[in-house]
A and B are shown apart, each in its own frame.
Chain A
Amino acid sequence: DAGVTQSPTHLIKTRGQQVTLRCSPKSGHDTVSWYQQALGQGPQFIFQYYEEEERQRGNFPDRFSGHQFPNYSSELNVNALLLGDSALYLCASSLVGTSGGPTDTQYFGPGTRLTVL
């Protein structure tokens, strides 16, 4: 059973550039969330996608945008990169529960380490 996969593993960009990170959810999962983990900190919620729509967004600027595809995979895009965007970006997937909302257990991928120079 394939778990959550993310690509690339590492990425180096310069200030002002744009970056796209990719995530494939765990088999059978249909909801994808993205988190930013700065060095030495806990992950911070960026947004969540379900049925190709953004369901909820954390406290991140519009430079952070996303997309979910019909096969449930997802992309995170960050425009106009800042030095402070350097972090580990984590993708997590979960399954819609019987109530119509996602079940509360999220499964995380290994992350993409983004370095902005």
Chain B
Amino acid sequence: GDSVTQMEGPVTLSEEAFLTINCTYTATGYPSLFWYVQYPGEGLQLLLKATKADDKGSNKGFEATYRKETTSFHLEKGSVQVSDSAVYFCALSPNYGGATNKLIFGTGTLLAVQP
């Protein structure tokens, strides 16, 4: 079945360091791909998305490119801040004829940014 695999954390970086969180997926057809962020004690916030191959999603300095040939959607940011510390979830929405848009999530990657 459809699934998402993302790198295990925690990822610990110093402020202004470069961030990469790897995400790969298995899916039938052409899913939409997402990154969600969860701050401590809160629900999920949509960070960015891409709906077709070679699309690049971007928001708040984060970006990710939908790579169908490698079934990947890696999250990157050029210079992280302490305020970026959170858990990041990669997710896909299978497009089974548009009946529903359920999300399938990875296990999450904890990012800790130190000043």
Contact = CB atoms under 8 A, between A and B. Distances in A.
A54 to B, nearest CB: 10
A55 B106 contact: no
A58 B107 CA distance: 17
A110 B98 contact: no
Given A41-B107, A42-B105, A42-B108, A105 B46 contact: yes
Interface in B79-115: 89, 91, 93, 95, 97-108
Nearest to A58: B102
B43 A55 contact: no
Interface in B30-56: 32, 34, 36, 42-46, 49, 51
Interface string A24-48: 0000000101010000111111001
Contacts of A45: 102-104
A108 B97 contact: no
B43 A102 contact: no
Given A105-B49, A107-B46, A109-B43, A43 B105 contact: yes
A90 interface: yes
A45 B4 CA distance: 14
A104 interface: yes
Interface stretch (A61-69, A70-78, A93-101): A93-101
A98 B79 CA distance: 39
Nearest to A111: B43
B101 A104 contact: yes
11 contacts: A6-B43, A33-B103, A42-B91, A43-B44, A43-B105, A45-B102, A55-B100, A56-B100, A101-B101, A104-B101, A108-B46
